[in-house]
Amino acid sequence: MHKYDEFIHRELAPHLGPGEGIELTGFLYTHSLSRVVISSGLSLIGDGYYFAALTRRRMFVIATEMGFASLKMLNKEMGEIPYADIESITPSGFLNQRMIAVKLKDGKTLTFRLNTLATHYASGQKEFIDTLIQLAST
C-alpha cells in the first residue's frame, strides 16, 4: 500500500460501518482531454480530482486538488454513493483513458474519468471500473 492508499484508508476509517472495509481504491478526475489541450495543461492545476474507495455497500469520493508538481493529500470534501442509489453505470473510453457515467435514481448523472496507468495514485486503478460495476449490481 502506498501513501495515497494510506491516506484514503485513514480518511475513511471513521465513516465505515461495522464490518465494512475498503475493497479497492481509485483516482478519478473530471477534466476532459480537450480542456487540458486547449489550456496547454494549465487546467490540470486545482480542483476536479478525487480519491475514491469502494466498499461492499457504497462508493466514497474524497475531493482533492492537484498542486503545481503533484497531487495533494487533502480532504476538501467527502461524499458517498450507496449502490442502492445507482440506476446504471456506463463505462467508455479507449486504451488507458477511461470514463464512467454513474446515473443515479434521482436522475442525476456523475461523470468521472480515470487513467488506468495511474497506479501510483491508487492501487486499484486498473480494476476500478469493473469492480464498481460488479459491486453495484449485487
Q: What is the pLDDT of residues 96-124, one digit of tens each?
A: 889 999 999 999 999 999 999 888 888 99
Distances (CA, A) of 31 to 42, 50, 74, 88: 11, 11, 18, 22
DSSP 136: H
Per-residue confidence (pLDDT) for residue 45, from 0 to 100: 42
Secondary structure of residue 56 in the 3-state scheme: coil
pLDDT digits (tens, 9 = 90+) for 28-79: 998 655 444 333 343 344 468 899 999 999 999 999 987 766 778 889 999 9
Match domain 3-14+21-136 to its CATH number in 3.40.630.30, 2.30.29.30, 3.30.450.90, 2.80.10.50.
2.30.29.30
Strands 46-54 and 58-66: antiparallel
Per-residue confidence (pLDDT) for residue 24, from 0 to 100: 95
Region 86-101: mean pLDDT is 93
Per-residue confidence (pLDDT) for residue 26, from 0 to 100: 95
- The residues spanned by each domain of the chain are 3-14+21-136
Per-residue confidence (pLDDT) for residue 47, from 0 to 100: 66
Does pTM top 0.95 for this prediction? no
CA distance 33 to 21: 33
Per-residue confidence (pLDDT) for residue 71, from 0 to 100: 78
* Residue 98, strand partner residues: 93, 114
